[in-house]
Structure 1
Amino acid sequence: MNIITQEAKKKQAIVKYALRKGKSEASRVYGVSLSSVKRWCKQYDGTWQSLLPKSHRPHSHPNRHTKREERQIRNSFKKCYERYGWDGVYSDLKRKGYTRSYSGMIYAAKRMGLVKYKKTKKKSRKHRRYPELLIPGEKVQIDVKEVPYNCLRGKALRDGKHFYQWTAIDECTRMRFVYGFEEHTPENSTKFLKMLLKEFPFKIQTIQTDNGREFTYKYQSSEVKSPFEIELNKLGINHKLIPPRTPWHNGKVERSHRNDQRYFYEWETFRNIEELNTKLKGHLEWSNNKTMRTLDYKSPMQLLSEKLELKSIH
């Protein structure tokens, strides 16, 4: 029996005595104030549970979400949650001028009944994290993702075509560039590299890839260089290869591919490579302007602007 239950049963004994002998007598015998005895008698309904202490939690708070803010949360939840989750809801709210924190939004959503379950918290893996890079372009990860076959429609599906998405992500700012090709070749890697250099507004020092044939011939020939490697040498960009069968070394681009699957490929279909690239362009704009927890709720574009502004000052 815990102390709260003991106190409630003690109050019950005092109330029963007061009902038999009178409230003043109970106050004198048990050594409690008369006002407390009167209050307990009024509160008592025949069970000791009725004498348990009531919550002192206030019914309202001066900083509580306003009706307008709650309406914004509900509208953004209906619009974004199914596809983009709570991060997408928060990003949509921020675009509308919402000034509260992410945790404040979740707290309000719980009170409004929008949060139906609580996810189990994963164990921290901070000891496995790589140090964050501080300079845009210091290292850019590149990888290729095959477009899911169930996204194909029309002629592309009838002809049994395969589409591939090339992805580059800057480790410092998480700024991305993506583009789709019909063939998985080193020549397309070279084309993608040239497009990437035009898109990223900073100098790239190192490019990190896996050991696929679209990037290197290292495991096919010790003498012949792939077109991608030749182009990198020509541009003076360092090429770093991750160890074989260790995709976590390219973790940022791998994670971005999982997000593409969740937020893009599970919702879109394509009839040709032109339609894929048109839709990828819109998705890329969204992902580069989406706030990220790992960036302290800034978007890659916001962080890039801050880094470039700081560099221009110095």
Structure 2
Amino acid sequence: MNIITQEARKKQAIVKYAEKNGKSSASRMYGVSLSSVKRWCKRYDGTWQSLMEKSHRPHSHPNRHTPKEERQIKNSFKKFFQRYGWDGVYSDLLRKGYSRSFSGMVYAAKRMGLAERSKPKKKSRISRRYPEILTPGEKVQIDVKEVPYNCLRGSVLRNNKHLYQWTAIDECTRMRFVYGFEEHTPENSVRFLLMVIKAFPFRIKTIQTDNGTEFTYKYISDENICPFDKALQKLGIKHKLIPPRTPWHNGKVERSHRNDQRYFYDW
């Protein structure tokens, strides 16, 4: 028997005593106020459950969001949450004159039932811990991303060409270098490599890439050597290839490309 049940049964005993001997007598006998005895007698319906203490929490709060603010939250949530999360929703609300706190906005949104749809569970992948890179230049990840066609401007768009973004990220410092070329070729990978070496203020020991033909001919020819591999050999830089179809091994540069798409190209 918990304390709430005990209190309710004690009140029942007081009410029964009051019904036999009077409310004033019950008040003196049990040492409780007369007003409490009267209130319990009025509430009592023959069961001790009717005397259980009810919640004192108010049904509403004087500082609760107004209907206008709730509409603003719903509209901003629909536009920005999926792409930019709560930070994007809050930034949009501030631009519209919203003056509440970030936590207050999130609480109000969840109270309205927003963001409660559960995401489908992805198949879990075995998590492996890799040794942390502690020296700048010890490993640099490089990858290529095609710039969305609807983002092209100027002569590239007029001439119906494509644009490709080469990105390099140092695993230790997270220093990042980006450059664009119109052709997706090994020769442009070599040009980009020389730019990276010039831009980074430390010596690069290892370059890590995927198995695209702009980086290696490993899976298409046993005789020909990719120009990118030749350049690395000449510079004394090790070339590490990630296993096929495992982009998460190049996770840092892949993530940076996703952020470029999300916060720049999709804007």
TM-score range, shorter chain: 0.5 to 0.7
CA contact (8 A) 1:167 1:253 kept: yes
- Please give the alpha-carbon distance, in whole angstroms, between the structure 2 residues aligned to 1:158 and 1:179: 21
SS at match of 2:127: helix
> Cα distance, 1:136 vs. partner?
2.1
Q: Counterpart in 2 of 1:159?
A: 159
Q: Matched residue of 1:207: which SS?
A: strand
Query: Larger relative CO (CA 8 A, sep 6+): 1 or 2?
Result: 1
Could you tell me which residue of structure 1 aligns to residue 5 of structure 2? 6
C-alpha change, 1:106 and 1:172, in structure 2 (3 Å) is farther
Distance, in Å, in 2 between the alignment partners of 1:242 and 1:175 is 21
Structural mapping, 1:5-84, within 5 Å: 6=5, 9-10=8-9, 13=12, 16-17=15-16, 20=19, 21-22=22-23, 24-25=25-26, 28=29, 33-35=31-33, 38=35, 46=43, 48=50, 51-52=53-54, 54=56, 84=84
Gap change, CA 1:8 and 1:154, over 3 Å in 2: farther
State the match for 2:244 in structure 1: 244
- Residue 117 in structure 1 maps to residue 119 in structure 2: no
Structure 1: unaligned runs, 5 residues or longer: 60-73, 92-104, 268-314
The number of aligned residues is 227
RMSD between superposed Cα atoms in Å: 4.1
Alpha-carbon distance, 1:132 to partner: 2.5
Distance 2:253 2:37 in 1: 65
How far off is 1:257 after superposition? 1.4
Conserved 8 A contact 2:139-2:207: yes
1:193 corresponds in structure 2 to 193
Equivalent position of 1:258 in the other structure: 258
CA contact (8 A) 1:140 1:170 kept: yes
Aligned partner of residue 243 in structure 1, secondary structure: coil
How much identity, in percent, do the aligned residues show? Answer: 58
**Distance in 2 separating the partners of 1:40 and 1:191:** 90
On the 8 A contact 2:90/2:105 being kept in 1, the answer is no
Contact 2:217 2:225 in 1 (8 A): yes
Report the residue type matching 1:52 in the other structure.
Answer: K
C-alpha displacement of 1:189: 0.7
Equivalent-residue separation in structure 2 for 1:44 and 1:135 (angstroms): 78
What amino acid is the match of 1:110?
V
| Structure 1 residue 178: Cα displacement | 1.4
- How many angstroms apart in 1 are the aligned matches of 2:126 and 2:90? 25
Structure 1 position 85, deviation (Å): 3.7
Q: Please give the secondary structure, in 2, of the residue aligned with 1:127.
A: coil
The answer on whether the counterparts of 1:15 and 1:41 sit within 8 Å (CA) in structure 2 is no
CA distance in 2, matches of 1:106, 1:164: 38
Shift in Å, 1:203: 2.1
Q: Secondary structure in 1 aligned to 2:233?
A: helix
What aligned pairs does 1:215-294 form with structure 2 within 5 A after superposition? 215-267=215-267
Separation in 1 of the partners of 2:37 and 2:192? 78
Residues 179, 49 of structure 1: CA spacing in aligned structure 2 closer, same or farther, 3 A cutoff? Answer: farther
Amino acid at match of 2:215: F
Gaps of 5+ in 2: 45-49, 62-72, 92-100
Equivalent residues of 2:186, 2:214 under 8 A apart = yes
How far apart are the structure 2 equivalents of 1:182 and 1:16? 89
TM-score by length of 1: 0.57
User: Could you say if the C-alpha distance between residues 164 and 41 of structure 1 is closer, same or farther in structure 2, counting changes exceeding 3 Å?
Assistant: farther
What amino acid maps onto 2:169 in structure 1? I
Q: Tell me by how many angstroms 1:4 deviates.
A: 6.8
Give the 3-state SS of the residue equivalent to 2:240 in structure 1.
Answer: strand
Write the distance in 2 (CA, Å) between the matches of 1:13 and 1:259.
65
1:18–1:25 contact (8 Å) kept in structure 2: yes
- Show the counterpart of 1:132: 132
Distance in 2 between the 1:17 and 1:253 partners? Answer: 76
Query: How far does residue 52 in structure 1 lie from its aligned partner after superposition?
Result: 2.7
The answer to which structure has the higher helix fraction is: 1
